């Protein structure tokens, strides 16, 4: 008790300052608020963004390892890699910054029908027709294949994919498709069953 009285005098806190306060509030006024200690090492989001923008080959794993070393040196606990990435993505969203993704050459290709159809004209009859447009893109090189096809059937998609492979001069390891219904026979919460023809096509070109 004597220590509290001495501390109150030192902080120039008198009876009138605490007489209407609850015990906890009075104690906090005399003792002062405890220093808030950040349990984890803070992340320098701007530094991460600058590094990812400056060096195209930079990887998040490298930046995380550097962060861990700095955290240990400052006697603070580092975030795990998954949480590190998650917090960075949240920061990017909050600051309206696009997350930079790193791709490996020939690893992934994006294949899909374009959202809008293309109007073509029959040179003999002058008849106009709206046709779907197939787009294939290799994100690493930004190499793009675009061609119109008569319809959006599975046969047209497979032909378009084969045409894009011929155009690129090879196949990516993974083909990323956005909700291609014609290529799926069964889709439940537990499994996805590919159409047999679609599956054989993937096996023939050795793509996933």
Q: What's CA 195's distance to the chain center, in Å? A: 29
30-81 residue pLDDT tens: 565 554 555 889 999 999 998 888 876 778 888 999 999 999 888 888 998 8
Whole-number Å distance between alpha carbons of 35 and 21: 22
Rounded Cα–Cα distance for residues 44 and 96 (Å): 17
**What distance lies between CA 72 and its chain's CA centroid?**
27
pLDDT in tens, 110-169: 999 998 899 999 999 999 999 999 999 998 888 999 999 999 998 999 999 999 999 999
Domains of the chain: 2-31 (no CATH), 45-94 (no CATH), 108-205 (3.30.420.10)
Q: What is the pTM of this model?
A: 0.51
Length of the chain: 208
């Amino acid at each position: 008790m004597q220590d509290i009285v001495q501390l109150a005098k030192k902080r120039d806190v008198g009876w009138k300052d605490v007489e209407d306060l609850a015990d906890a509030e009075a104690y906090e006024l005399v003792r002062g608020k405890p220093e808030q200690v950040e349990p984890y090492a803070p992340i320098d989001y701007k530094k991460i963004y600058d590094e990812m923008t400056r060096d195209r080959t930079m990887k998040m794993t490298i930046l995380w390892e550097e962060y861990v070393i700095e955290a240990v040196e400052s006697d603070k606990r580092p975030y795990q890699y998954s949480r590190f990435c998650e917090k960075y993505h949240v920061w990017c969203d909050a600051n309206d910054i696009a997350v930079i993704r790193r791709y490996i050459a020939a690893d992934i290709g994006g294949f899909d029908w374009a959202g809008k159809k293309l109007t073509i004209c029959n040179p003999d009859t002058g008849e106009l027709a709206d046709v779907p447009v197939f787009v294939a893109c290799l994100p690493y090189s930004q190499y793009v294949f675009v061609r119109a096809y008569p319809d959006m059937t599975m046969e047209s998609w497979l032909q378009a994919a084969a045409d894009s492979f011929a155009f690129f001069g090879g196949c990516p390891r993974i083909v990323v498709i956005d909700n291609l219904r014609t290529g799926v026979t069964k889709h439940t919460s537990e499994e996805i069953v590919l159409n047999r023809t679609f599956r054989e096509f993937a096996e023939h070109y050795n793509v996933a």
